[in-house]
Structure 1
Amino acid sequence: MRPQSLADVAYPKTIKSFVRRAGRTTSGQSKAFGELGPRFLLPYQPIALDFAKAFAHTADVAPANDNSSRPTVLEIGFGMGEATAHIAALLPGTNFLCCEVHEPGVGALLKRIGEQNLCNIRICAHDAVEVIDHMLPLQSLAGAHIFFPDPWHKKKHNKRRLIQAPLIAKLAARLKVGGYLHCATDWQPYAEQILEVLSAEPLLKNTAPEKHPALLGYAPKPHYRPLTKFENRGLKLGHGVWDLVFERV
């Protein structure tokens, strides 16, 4: 059954990009905070972010590129950082600004950064909505990733879902023309709502191939997004995964 129409959903006045979760920070994660935090953690500040300065040490990865012109992709909610680290290693010429407030997740990604010698990731452990509002200039991003956000399964909780028209309008305005927004979910009713919200944003157009009606507006999984252990387990149980990729016009 399709979710409520967007017009019927009473969105909260303040959107939050996160839900506080319980979790224990391991000794390895704590060590990563101490050793790598000063270099890879960006403090939240209500002023426009200087990308070249924030990623000043990234040029080692792709010395042929001027760091000031390297594309930057925003990731909202990276969990334990498995997919983030994979994509950053696969795309060394791209900078990744990643927002996550779950401390064990931040520690886990810092640990992966050290283990894989990644230089093109910076983490802002703060609400992504405020980061978008205050730190990201208009038309500054080459892309944005939102992978497997909390689906808030119960109908009465749908209003808590992250991907809503107000947030998408903010994100679209901060994408460069030709930039992309990639969302993925394993909950079909949420996928339908995401498709509806993104399709209604005038600054975005769907990249799903029109000549492939079987996709119904959803995109083939982009090559850079890995299959996580959680996703693989779900696919074996017959669960679906929906990717949506829209482009800034």
Structure 2
Amino acid sequence: MTDDIQQAPETAGEAPRLRTIKSFVMRAGRMTEGQQRGFEQGWPKFGLELADGLRDFDQMFGRRAPRTFEIGFGMGHSTLEMAAAAPEQDFIGVEVHKPGVGALLAGAMAQNLTNIRVYSCDALDVLRQCVADASLDRVLLFFPDPWHKSRHHKRRIVQAGFAELVRQKLKIGGVLHMATDWQPYAEHMLEVMSAAPGFRNLAADGTYVPRPEERPVTKFERRGERLGHGVWDLKFERID
């Protein structure tokens, strides 16, 4: 679900600008009747538009609460589980795959959840255009596309530009939580984030944290564990 982050050329006196930013790879897929109904009925209640620009999420949710931003929620199972388990927190999920958006919206209505809002577009565009600086408590990036081939590594979402964008949007003390089941990508994430200014690795040994209880275990992850596949979690706190 990820693409690349690159730096645009700099001119004198200007900070580097991000260009060609995508947080996803478009996937084809037809909606089931339930997903379509969820999308049609749930979008007016939970859906947000990139074109509306910078949002006041305190006003939108009607309260000031810890706020989580999830990049690429897939079919929404983990998002729904987290939101249901933490009604005192607010969740903003972003996903381009319409069946997944429909599934999450259907689930939110079925569970009568009020602490979820959804974008269906590029998550990094949402961060840049719709999220105020220093306004997020957590950013989640679970199982992004690892782009296995060496020539495609530049397409991985976790790059220096991504780290800086997330740092800007997190509050001081806010946390970027990433997880992957591909060890070379975990090592890449660790390398990038260890070099990123303004972050502190929350792992005691400076590498990976044990799976946090608040991250739901997916069916995909359980299947991987049965096959002997590992999962690596990384948590980095904004300190500056």
TM-score (normalizing by structure 1): 0.87
Structure 1: gaps of 5 or more residues: 1-8, 57-66, 211-215
Partner of 2:73: 78
Counterpart AA for 2:223: R
What is the CA-CA distance between 1:94 and the residue it aligns to? 0.8
Partner of 1:5: none
Q: Among 172, 183, 192, which residue is 2:167 paired with?
A: 172
Partner of 2:122: 127
SS at match of 1:233: helix
* Pair 1:136 & 2:126 matched: no
Q: Among 97, 100, 120, which residue is 2:92 paired with?
A: 97
Contact 2:5-2:21 within 8 A present in 1 as well = no
Counterpart AA for 1:227: V
What is the CA-CA distance between 1:10 and the residue it aligns to? 9.5
* Pair 1:163 & 2:169 matched: no
Partner of 2:213: 223
Paired with 2:85 and 2:224, the residues of 1 have a C-alpha distance of 24
Pairing of 1:98-113 with structure 2 (within 5 A): 98-113=93-108
Contact 1:15-1:167 within 8 A present in 2 as well = no
Pairing of 1:16-27 with structure 2 (within 5 A): 16-27=22-33
Partner of 1:236: 226
What is the CA-CA distance between 1:22 and the residue it aligns to? 1.1
Counterpart AA for 2:222: N
Contact 1:173-1:203 within 8 A present in 2 as well = no
Paired with 1:11 and 1:40, the residues of 2 have a C-alpha distance of 31
Contact 1:81-1:108 within 8 A present in 2 as well = yes
Q: Identity of aligned pairs, percent?
A: 50
SS at match of 1:32: helix
Pairing of 1:184-199 with structure 2 (within 5 A): 184-199=179-194
Partner of 1:47: 53
What is the CA-CA distance between 1:111 and the residue it aligns to? 1.2
What is the CA-CA distance between 1:46 and the residue it aligns to? 5.7
Paired with 2:5 and 2:164, the residues of 1 have a C-alpha distance of 17
Contact 2:224-2:230 within 8 A present in 1 as well = yes
What is the CA-CA distance between 1:37 and the residue it aligns to? 1.1
Paired with 1:170 and 1:28, the residues of 2 have a C-alpha distance of 36
What is the CA-CA distance between 1:15 and the residue it aligns to? 2.1
Contact 1:165-1:201 within 8 A present in 2 as well = yes
SS at match of 1:45: helix
**CA offsets, 1:66-107, max 9 Å, x none?**
x1x212111000000011111111111111111111000100
TM-score (normalizing by structure 2): 0.90
* Pair 1:38 & 2:28 matched: no
Partner of 1:62: none
Counterpart AA for 1:236: R
CA-based RMSD of the aligned residues comes to 1.5
Counterpart AA for 2:21: I
Q: List structure 1 segments (4+ residues) > 4 angstroms apart after TM superposition.
A: 9-13
Contact 1:42-1:54 within 8 A present in 2 as well = no
Structure 2: gaps of 5 or more residues: 8-18
The structure-2 alpha-carbon separation of the partners of 1:89 and 1:11, relative to structure 1 and needing over 3 Å to count, comes to same
SS at match of 2:134: coil
Paired with 1:239 and 1:142, the residues of 2 have a C-alpha distance of 30
Paired with 2:222 and 2:55, the residues of 1 have a C-alpha distance of 36
Partner of 1:60: none
What is the CA-CA distance between 1:47 and the residue it aligns to? 2.6
